[in-house]
Amino acid sequence: MKRLLRMSPRLLSIVKKSLIIVLLFTWLVMPELLWHKISLIAYKIGVILHLIYETCAFVVEEALIHGAGMPKHYAQMTVFYLSLLIGLGIVYLLWRRLPHFLTCFKNRLELLAAELKFQLLKTWLCLTLWQKLKFILFHLMIVAGVFTLMFS
């Protein structure tokens, strides 16, 4: 494990990029795996968060029972309402940060769209007239074929 942590940043970036390329390739080949992998990752994150919550709740409950001398029922209710209050506080803080998250997401999406538009424009300008004609005619044939299939 220590050897992995001592990897050079260049090698680490190559490993990360190759992992992302392999994942994207598998998702392109079998797109149904995308939802499976996302749900699997979300499930594992949920299980880890739940285990952390249960451990903290157990420690606080035992501290209240043995340290403060509370009855078990009152300690459980205290832990429940305390965790409910903390959860509501986290939801409130996330709700306040939501406009910032949405504007950041919107800005990144607009930047991505601008880069894509620039790349497409650059590619289009690099094509010869013959290549542009073939491209337009090919897509026109596809549209005509789809309409023919739809209305026959």
What pLDDT is stored for residue 9 in this prediction? Answer: 74
What pLDDT is stored for residue 86 in this prediction? Answer: 94
Q: Which residues contact 82 (CB under 8 A, 6 or more apart)?
A: 60
Nearest to 62 by CA among 78, 47, 39: 78
**Residue carrying the six token digits 């390739």:** 25
Q: Name the 3-class secondary structure at 30.
A: coil
What pLDDT is stored for residue 4 in this prediction? Answer: 52
What pLDDT is stored for residue 14 in this prediction? Answer: 81
What pLDDT is stored for residue 148 in this prediction? Answer: 86
Residues of the chain with pLDDT under 50: 1
